[in-house]
Structure 1
């Protein structure tokens, strides 16, 4: 399609500001719609636009943030909450949670004029509004309460992250919970398991699956001497110290990143493997009975995870 200078300018300006472009309701809007029809431009939300080639380079969280920044500009009275607010606060979460919708706090339910991409979550009139990076959001505590509707294994990373950032406390969340209309049982469960010592969303997710399988709670970030560098001791992800003196360590390594031996970066992969073997040996020299490495594929499949943890002799409480 023929280049439209005003459309190009609108799209490039939006890209620089890391948001979607906003239609003007007039000729520019119709020019954008024509480009949506031919695939040059995408429209993830009514009246929001982005060049298709640019949009596809963004991950799901980045796409969500582009929509939120544009909608905050288009609707300055909207207050984002739930997963949208967690996104603004940059709390760890799985990208797969993003389904193209945005969540706002509202004193009323959805109406026929709302876009299908808009999710209203009830909030009282006296709710406090926070500004974070210029975007109106619910307080961190309120955000966590609204995120309790997400699956436990996905919501836990958001709780851990908020506590790790020291944006709120368990007491603050629990106090607000008692004053709110929410799923109290879900919030209480998440607060019981939330722990800022877990360093990333992957560890939170792995821990949640361990709990769902009935395993005993581990210790987090336990340190062991590093003979190669005494000033930088080893910290392990999950550790169980048993009554009989056994010490079981489990590490979450994320995606199985060493399976492609033909990768161009084979030297760094080899160095990584050698480091892990040396580290595991040092841990055993420090009294660790066994070290088990979990990959994404292990954690994603509960049956497989159960087999791996059982083989490592991680204790169960039920």
Structure 2
């Protein structure tokens, strides 16, 4: 397989690249490095520093590398930025994605896997319910709208051009290499602050002092594994949730990380953050049925905390 990964210098994309290379695939990474890091691109991968909004540059990369499959991870991923700059969000997430889709068709790409969002698309999930792929989508942010739009474009391209696709709707992905900047980086933020002995804040779910919002935190290894399975055609579903089906509050996250890192720091209550979904939980039964058990929050956080701790030690020794 010749796999091109958009956003492959980022947190999720670089893990997919690692697995694909381990499988013996030819891998190319296409990334503008606006949020990704050049050092995340693994040895052995061809690298194109390209913005997906630049159609001619995208076409040049496809023509040079000749991919047979595409993993489309590149995105503007901040809900806050999408609200503040909806045109920017649409330019990257919709127009940029259309550049990838049209170029994939032109170069006869056999399959595309698209990184979508479970939490943002499903919106508020009521108590006692896990959102399955049949759950009514409620994309209330421009970011969620753009992701949902691309899902619909993919179906159009399947019907019009025969482009095979798989949509993976992620929960809150965490793990080694996660960037602390941005809304999805709470695990990285907490790890860094705990290791530095600094206080952390728990944004309220409803009232200051509560345990915080409920999320479905999914470990990066399970996300990368799902992407590889989809690229290999082992996921027959056109849309699949990638989560755990287990809920974790922000306070639980803070407590587990303190226990894992064997450090105690001050945990401060904070106001509810505007626009935060109170409860997001995915039904991941189909993922488990297809690919086997996913990592528990304790095991995933242990591996993640160890990576951040080793990185902090390396940084200290370097100085």
TM-score, length-scaled by structure 1: 0.30
Q: Which structure: larger Rg? A: 1
Query: Greater relative contact order (Cα 8 A, min sep 6): structure 1 or 2?
Result: 2
